[in-house]
Structure 1
């Protein structure tokens, strides 16, 4: 009868052993799996807390901005032009509401000076270095040009232009213009508009005189020499013609640029085109920029709504039933139901903000906001940003909540500590299980070795006892 080997096949195949060990490991790791699931939940909560902190910090930043900027954002103004192709305007919070009339008589222009018409290929005939002083934009610079005597007139003009343009702080730009196939002219144009930027020069060495530029051109600022198709001169006769001129509410105004910053309080005028005699004046109307204020307020409301949605989402998922999260949500919602500020406006509904069933805020009545802004923007500012206002109360709550030592920070640190503790427990339990499995494996292999030795000894004894061995059997 064949003997039964309880460990048969173990020496050539380890799957029975591994099956037993895997079953043991699975049974031992059931508590470990529960710990891992708990760790995953805590990590999800930690990620959610981090996201919630970012959302609350964004709301805090918006609230701080509203609380610190005072009345200005709520006193935004805009200016509408009846002829935006002629003149436009912008306004700040100091602009006075109402309309003015504007007639653009002349735009500001940059001064232009041109040389005589000169033959392109004619020898220029000057050798050595020549210098002159050029004044434009109220700044005088010295320009030096070196000639070797071989230059044509066109080459010489290009050297002069290059020398002017490369001089530091020069107030004009020089250009060589080929006005006909055989002739060229040197032109200067001031870098700024208006009479203060007018171009003059001092030519003690006579270089510019060869171009037709002499002091006689600008001897009388009111009657300068005007260029022709062939002779040197300025584009405009009178220096005063370089300035912009308008009639504002019947008053004549002159400025060196096409932007008027000081004509009306808080208003910047930009001139685009001169008008002709008989054209109707442009009407500029300054009104409350309700859209700009509404966008400013909506940015705060959106940040508030995002915070509510984040808290509600947390309560429906990872923080379901969590008292701390619900308390924070209720604190945020309570702010909008209280009296706010210290002015005549005490509720968000006074400026057209409605509260939805879920607590979110919407600026749904812009006309009500516009009316309050026209009446007194400072009251809107008090309701939202002043001491005790909506943004101020949000700031007070959120600064404490999002501070490193605040409630949210403490909650995050506590969660981090719990995650670390669970990680330690998981690691230690895993090590114990791994060690026990290895201990069983070693014990099994040891038993296997002992069994193999016993089998060998039993076989040896059997050989001694067989008839073919020649050893007589002893009768009992």
Structure 2
């Protein structure tokens, strides 16, 4: 509507209409801007509080775990010789151990044969793993080479854990079949038997050592040998289960002479300590975040203070008040009743501080009491979680408030659209009115000019110079 206006009247219609429109629009725009800023700030603040509260709830869930307090550790002072693990029923204890010998599996070789060896007649080989084993019969056909014999052995013995390969001697061109067993332990030696003269050169006794080109064992199957507190023990496997009830350990190397290792079995205090510290850190983050969101900071004389997005917010006071009440509420048990018994105390700013030495002593002296203090339906973590769940859960207090603020922000956008339309309509109306006035004044001025001219031409009319 704006253009060349005010020609008839000489009035600056554009400026007048602009001023009137701005007078109507500016207060409402300022009001919407203030509401948008306040709503956005509060929405962001609630989101930040919700994030800190969610992390706090996760830390509580991790600490409120019976499994955490049921874990047992089994630590070795020499992991290059022995590693161990323990189940939750393992009893605490310390054991002096030595590893004298690792369990070994059988490795055998046939007698040295010509590189171009072939079976001269049909027959079969029976491969056994120990004297008590019934064995596996492997059919060999006339003309089979060492390669084909090897492949037939591997196909037949794969379920028995025995593999075969060929080793060639570059010096004399002779070859030998070498068989390896997976199973360890004394008496688990590989042997090859045959009643067929054509295959006699492939037979071997796994209990006799190979010397020179003769058949026999390269490594004999043997039990592991170790001691626990001076008691000499053996195991057919390097993984030993049951020597110490509910403890499994693996022998991985021999210990040095007169240098035993120590195996310690006990509660998983390090895991519990880590989760307690995680809980304290999450709580401190919640307090720090809440303090920032509800603080008022003076920045200088004559300047407005910096205020947090939730200053004076009742939600924050209610939330933190409930959490703090539970943290100081003593448990109905002996040994550990309050956080202070664990060396966890409140500082001036509301955050928690851990006395590591006192926490370590409490875990050593009252491990079960620490577990019952934190876990279970009446444990501290469950009680605190009940206080915060109504705020953090889906459809809870924080989510409902954030949805309300989102609705407000959406409403502000709609109000701006409505204001824009109303201002456009007002501007069009004002221009129409002022332009109509301008046209009328222009016509009146034209009429006045014509009358003045006409009257000036009448007899007796004296013109006055201006």
TM-score of Structure 1 vs Structure 2, range by shorter chain: 0.7 to 0.9
Q: Aligned partners of 1:346 and 1:161: how far apart in 2?
A: 70
Q: Report 1:299-338 matches (<5 A).
A: 299-316=278-295, 317-338=308-329
Q: Work out which of the residue numbers 29, 33, 49 in structure 2 matches 1:32.
A: 29
C-alpha separation between the residues in 1 aligned to 2:427 and 2:187? Answer: 95
Q: CA deviation at 1:379?
A: 0.5
Q: What is aligned with 1:44?
A: 41
- Specify the SS of the correspondent of 2:378: coil
Whether the 8 Å CA contact 1:173–1:190 is kept in 2: the answer is yes
**Structure 1 residues 382, 196: closer, same or farther in 2, change over 3 A?**
farther
CA shift, 1:282, in A, is 3.1
CA distance, structure 2, for counterparts of residue 139 and residue 332 of structure 1:
70
2:372 is equivalent to residue 348 of structure 1: no
8 Å Cα contact 2:92-2:265 kept in structure 1: yes
Name which of 191, 208, 218 aligns with 1:225.
208
3-state DSSP class of the match of 1:381?
A: helix
**CA shift in 2, pair 1:355/1:431, >3 Å:** same
CA contact (8 A) 2:119 2:141 kept: no
- 1:381 corresponds to 2:371: yes
| 1:260-302 deviation line (CA, Å, top 9, x unaligned) | 23221343322222357x6344333345554332112111111
> How far off is 1:35 after superposition?
0.9
Distance 1:21-1:407 versus aligned 2 partners, 3 A rule = same
| Alignment partner, residue 273 of structure 1 | 253
Give the corresponding residue for 1:103.
Answer: 98
Q: Which residue pairs with 2:386 in the alignment?
A: 396
Q: Does structure 1 residue 285 correspond to structure 2 residue 264?
A: yes
CA distance in 2, matches of 1:127, 1:41: 98
Cα separation, partners in 2 of 1:318 and 1:226, compared to 1, 3 Å: same
Q: Secondary structure, in 3 states, of the residue corresponding to 1:103?
A: strand
Q: Is the 8 A contact 1:343 1:383 kept in 2?
A: no
Structure 1 partner of 2:55: 58
CA-CA distance at 1:213 after TM superposition:
3.6
In structure 2, how many angstroms separate the alpha carbons of the residues matched to 1:206 and 1:19? 123
In the alignment, is the contact (CA less than 8 A) between 1:140 and 1:170 conserved in 2?
A: no
1:252 to 232, 243, 246: 232
Change (3 A) 1:341 1:302: farther
Change in CA separation of 1:230 and 1:420 when aligned onto 2, cut-off 3 Å = same
Q: CA offset at residue 233 of structure 1?
A: 2.5
Distance (whole Å) between structure 2 residues aligned to residue 44 and residue 384 of structure 1 = 36
**Cα shift readout 1:55-82 (whole Å, capped 9, x = no counterpart):** 2222222223322426x4376545342x
The CA deviation at 1:380 is 0.7
C-alpha deviation, 1:418, in angstroms: 2.4
2:242 pairs with 1:262:
yes
CA distance in 1, matches of 2:147, 2:80: 39
- Counterpart residue number, 1:124: 118
Counterparts in 2 of 1:163 and 1:199: CA distance versus 1, 3 Å: closer
Q: CA RMSD in A?
A: 4.5
Residue 350 of structure 1, CA deviation: 0.7
Deviations 1:143-169 (A, max 9, x none): 78999x6x8x5xx42773497279864
Give the Cα–Cα distance (whole angstroms) in 1 for the partners of residues 159 and 431 of structure 2. Answer: 89
Equivalent in the alignment of 2:75? 79
> What is the CA deviation profile of residues 390-436 of structure 1, one whole-angstrom value per residue up to 9, with x for unaligned ones?
21221111222222243223322322332333333233222322343
**Alignment correspondent of 1:221:** none
Q: Is the 8 A contact 2:66 2:371 kept in 1?
A: no
Distance in 1 (alpha carbons) for counterparts of 2:283 and 2:242: 40
- Contact 1:341 1:382 (8 Å CA) reproduced: no
Query: Is 2:102–2:224's contact at 8 Å kept on the other side of the alignment?
Result: yes
Within a 5 Å distance, the mapping from 1:436-455 to structure 2 comes to 436-438=426-428
- 1:74–1:378 Cα contact (<8 Å) kept: no
CA distance 1:171–1:309, change in 2 (3 Å): same
Mean alpha-carbon deviation: is it higher for 31-40 or for 376-385?
A: 31-40
4+ residue segments displaced more than 4 Å = 16-26, 125-128, 130-147, 165-170, 195-207, 438-448
